[in-house]
Amino acid sequence: MPINDVESAVDALLQAENRREERGRVTTEWPGLDAGTAYEVQRTLIEAKIAAGEEIVGFKLGLTSKAKQEQMNVDAPLSGWLTDAHQCCNGEPVKVANYIHPRIEPEIAFILGRELKGPNCTRDDVKEATSHITAAFEIIDSRYRDFNFALPDVIADNASSAGFILGKTHIKVGEFDLINEPVELLVDGEVQATATGAAVLGDPAQAVVDAVNEIATRGQSLPAGTIVLTGALTDAVFLNPGSKYTARFKSLGEITVNCL
């Protein structure tokens, strides 16, 4: 079926996800798709998941490193929504065959105790609304062949959302140095990459402020209880069956994922 409107784009993306089949860019068939309309595709796709019984539990920022933004020729992050079906249990193995070509990336998650709403959200609002911060791993799995997409494609694809795992250490804002918090990403015990909180646009809390103000332009806000993944701290690495992935933070503790 040709892709030329919101509904046909949603059908194509959900079909790729459900069948675990990669596909070509939506923008190849629908070159007129712009970022604003792509967020409508994303919203309709999430509504379809809710209609199928899923529940929104989180919100994610993507393209939060300057290097990734330059690669995509954008100057701001994008965002997407996480459902209960995306949440993987900390300690349980992750089955690679449940995805198309999954990758994993260490992140810092804010858990909201109160609603966060723009347009005039500030850093103080984020501090007051956050009940605690925790380590996270995000699993991304673009529905596009070889992760090859333009910005509207990846927005429509709910920012490549596929899974996430939260750490067990909970720390309050202000009780550790968020910007300088170091992390190591290990694959089978070998350090693959290192970073600090500053990798998320200089300050993960400011990235949340900016995202909350951005989604307010579409009439959206983050309710109390939302898990906010603030963006990749290092490059994502592919998941392989039999391998072990660890995000080792200084204050936020460690998460390990074993893949089947």
Q: What does the binding site for Mg ion look like in residue numbers (CB under 5 A)?
A: 138, 232
Report phi then psi at 222, rounded to 5.
Answer: -110, 110
Q: Cα separation of 57 and 82, whole Å?
A: 6
Contacting range for ligand 0L1; rule: CB under 6 A; set: 119-127, 138-146, 187-195, 244-252? 138-146
Taking the complex as a whole, the smallest distance from the CB of residue 2 to Mg ion amounts, in Å, to: 31
Interface with ligand 0L1, residue 201, by CB under 6 A: no
Interface with ligand 0L1, residue 200, by CB under 6 A: no
Give the single-character DSSP code of 255: E
Amino acid 130 reads T
Task: Assign 95 to helix, strand or coil.
Answer: coil
**Nearest residue to ligand 0L1, scored by beta-carbon proximity:** 62
Among 133, 231, 245, 257, binds ligand 0L1 (CB under 6 A): 231
Contacting range for ligand 0L1; rule: CB under 6 A; set: 135-143, 189-197, 216-224, 237-245? 135-143
Taking the complex as a whole, the smallest distance from the CB of residue 19 to ligand 0L1 amounts, in Å, to: 19
Taking the complex as a whole, the smallest distance from the CB of residue 146 to Mg ion amounts, in Å, to: 18
- DSSP labels, 218-239: TT--B-TT-EEE---SS--EE-
Strands 244-249 and 254-258, sheet pairing: antiparallel
Among 125, 138, 153, 184, binds ligand 0L1 (CB under 6 A): 138
**Partner whose footprint covers residue 163, from Mg ion, ligand 0L1, none (CB < 5 to 8 Å by kind):** none
Taking the complex as a whole, the smallest distance from the CB of residue 48 to Mg ion amounts, in Å, to: 22
User: HSE on the CB side for 62, CA within 13 Å?
Assistant: 25
Q: Cα separation of 223 and 113, whole Å?
A: 9
Task: Assign 55 to helix, strand or coil.
Answer: coil
Among 9, 25, 33, 62, binds ligand 0L1 (CB under 6 A): 62
Nearest partner of 250 among 233, 230, 229, judged by Cα: 233
Rg for the chain (alpha carbons), in Å? 17
Interface with ligand 0L1, residue 176, by CB under 6 A: no
Taking the complex as a whole, the smallest distance from the CB of residue 157 to ligand 0L1 amounts, in Å, to: 8
Interface with ligand 0L1, residue 38, by CB under 6 A: no
**Partner whose footprint covers residue 142, from ligand 0L1, Mg ion, none (CB < 5 to 8 Å by kind):** ligand 0L1
Omega within 30 of 0 (cis) for the link into 119: yes
**Partner whose footprint covers residue 212, from ligand 0L1, Mg ion, none (CB < 5 to 8 Å by kind):** none
Interface with ligand 0L1, residue 102, by CB under 6 A: no
* Residue 82, token pair as written in the block: 């996480």
CA distances (Å), 154 to each of 79, 150, 215, 241, in order?
Answer: 10, 7, 16, 26
Are 243 and 187 in contact by the 8 Å Cβ rule? The answer is yes
Give contact residues for ligand 0L1 (rule: CB under 6 A).
60, 62-63, 138, 140, 142, 147, 154, 159-160, 231-232
